């Protein structure tokens, strides 16, 4: 049976999801970027826990630093927050109040911490960015300041200097990609994000951008590894999982596509992403498991009966349910 083609539908959904995360698309929220450093300015390395605390001290969200000692919390609502940083080899540190009531699209915060005496500043995995030269760090900071002030041409100059001084500067390449996006220099943004992801595969913004770029261009093999990393970082993001499942299906990885589609159905808001059942149905149909394919089609029609794809699904279902001649 000829499978139902879902690519355009998924591309549109994925593009909408990524657009919603673009740093300049929703001015009332702020991307909070936190850099954890030792008092000598060197990166405190990866795997340190950063908690964002609300007005009354409760945890709003949390994340772990990457190899640059950084973590980003996208789309923070306006308000007053504190940061609590903890991890192996550092003294737990809590910051004063950070005011994000009118912070603009991005706020950069640096949290200095002290070594606990157990590991000093040589945490595992921090080798690469522990060697960032002071001049490169200064150029990076200047670029961040200019970017926050929306002076993207000046930001580009400083960030390009930073990566020239230190070619392994993953976060500088990542932020350079964002600046190129603002300057409508798409090809340069792609190359900057690719370099950033090669240096640090856990950079969320790079993975999201590259996943979107390759997905929208139907380059599913190129999109898949970035989508894999993006979904590891955000495992309950149904739209990302849906895009990954579709990429896996297009790449002939049916078992992986089925497993990813089933993750979507396990999420609380899965009915909004009923198309995951069409992926599962295609996999089952390809395996000759018509009963499970029919089950998936029925669930899809139950969850999204008004879908523009419903007529095609009903047609495919009727063929499966027709008596054998």
CATH code at position 262: 1.25.40.10
Mean pLDDT of 137-149: 83
Q: Residue 182, Cβ neighbours under 10 Å: how many?
A: 18
Query: With 50 as the cut, is the pLDDT of residue 321 above it?
Result: yes
Q: End of a domain among 212, 240, 269?
A: 212
Q: Can you read off the two tokens belonging to residue 219?
A: 């380059």
pLDDT digits (tens, 9 = 90+) for 282-310: 999 899 999 999 999 999 999 988 888 88
> Quick one: angle between helices 170-182 and 152-165, nearest 10?
150
Q: For residue range 174-232, what is the model confidence (pLDDT) as tens digits? A: 889 989 988 999 899 999 999 999 998 888 778 888 998 899 899 999 999 999 998 88
Domain total for the chain? Answer: 3
Q: Is the pLDDT of residue 7 over 70?
A: no
Q: Is residue 280 part of a domain?
A: yes
CATH number at residue 90: 2.60.40.10
In the structure encoding, which two tokens stand for residue 252, read together?
């002939």
- 29 vs 98, which has greater pLDDT? 98
The domain boundary residue, chosen from 192, 212, 232? 212
pTM: 0.63
Residues 232 and 305 in one domain: yes
Predicted local distance difference test score (pLDDT) of residue 23: 38
| Mutual angle of helices 170-182 and 186-199, in 10-degree steps | 160
- Which of 5-14, 19-28, 205-214 has the highest mean predicted lDDT (pLDDT)? 205-214
Residues 257 and 167 in one domain: no
Instruction: Kindly state whether residues 312 and 220 are assigned to the same domain.
Output: yes
Q: How confident is the model at residue 132 (pLDDT cuts 50, 70, 90)?
A: confident
In this model, does residue 115 exceed pLDDT 80?
yes
Q: Is the pLDDT score of 92 beyond 60?
A: yes
pLDDT of 76 higher than 80: yes
Q: Are residues 47 and 79 in the same domain?
A: yes
2 in any annotated domain: no
Query: Are 136 and 106 in a shared domain?
Result: no
pLDDT of residue 21: 39
- The residue segments making up the domain with residue 72 are 27-125
**Could you tell me which of 203, 284, 235, 199 has the C-alpha nearest to residue 4?**
284
Position 270 scores a pLDDT of 82
User: Which of the pair, 130 or 134, is modelled with greater confidence?
Assistant: 134
Same domain, 261 and 242: yes
**Who has greater pLDDT, 66 or 184?**
184
47 in any annotated domain: yes
> What does the pLDDT read at residue 43?
81
Between CA 31 and CA 294 the distance in angstroms is 44
User: And the tokens for 41?
Assistant: 């300015």
Last residue of a domain, one of 212, 230, 247: 212
């Amino acid at each position: 049976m000829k499978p139902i083609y879902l690519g355009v539908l998924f591309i549109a959904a994925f593009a909408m999801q990524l657009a919603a995360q673009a740093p300049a698309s929703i001015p009332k929220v702020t991307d909070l970027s936190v850099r954890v450093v030792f008092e000598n300015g060197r990166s405190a390395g990866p795997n340190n826990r950063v908690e964002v605390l609300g007005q009354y001290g409760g945890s709003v969200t949390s994340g772990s630093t990457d190899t640059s000692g950084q973590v980003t919390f996208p789309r923070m609502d306006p308000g007053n927050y504190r940061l609590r940083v903890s991890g192996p080899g550092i003294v737990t540190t809590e910051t004063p109040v950070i005011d994000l009531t009118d912070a603009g699209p991005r706020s950069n915060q640096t949290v200095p911490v002290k070594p606990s005496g157990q590991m000093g500043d040589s945490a595992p995995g921090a080798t690469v960015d522990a060697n960032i030269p002071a001049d490169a760090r200064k150029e990076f900071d200047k670029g961040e300041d200019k970017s926050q002030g929306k002076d993207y041409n000046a930001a580009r100059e400083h960030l390009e200097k930073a990566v020239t001084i230190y070619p392994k500067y993953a976060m500088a390449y990542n932020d350079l990609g964002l600046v190129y996006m603002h300057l409508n220099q798409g090809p340069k943004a792609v190359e900057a994000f690719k370099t950033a992801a090669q240096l640090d595969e856990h950079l969320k913004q790079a993975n999201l951008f590259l996943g979107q770029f390759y997905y929208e261009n139907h380059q599913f093999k190129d999109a898949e590894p970035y989508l894999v990393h993006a979904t590891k970082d955000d495992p309950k993001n149904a739209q990302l999982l849906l895009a990954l499942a579709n990429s896996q299906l297009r790449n002939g990885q049916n078992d992986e596509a089925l497993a990813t589609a089933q993750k979507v159905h396990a999420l609380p808001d899965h009915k909004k992403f009923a198309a995951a059942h069409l992926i599962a149905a295609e996999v089952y149909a390809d395996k000759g498991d018509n009963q499970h394919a029919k089950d998936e089609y029925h669930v899809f029609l139950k969850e999204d009966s008004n879908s523009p794809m419903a007529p095609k699904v009903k047609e495919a279902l009727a063929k499966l349910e027709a008596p054998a001649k």
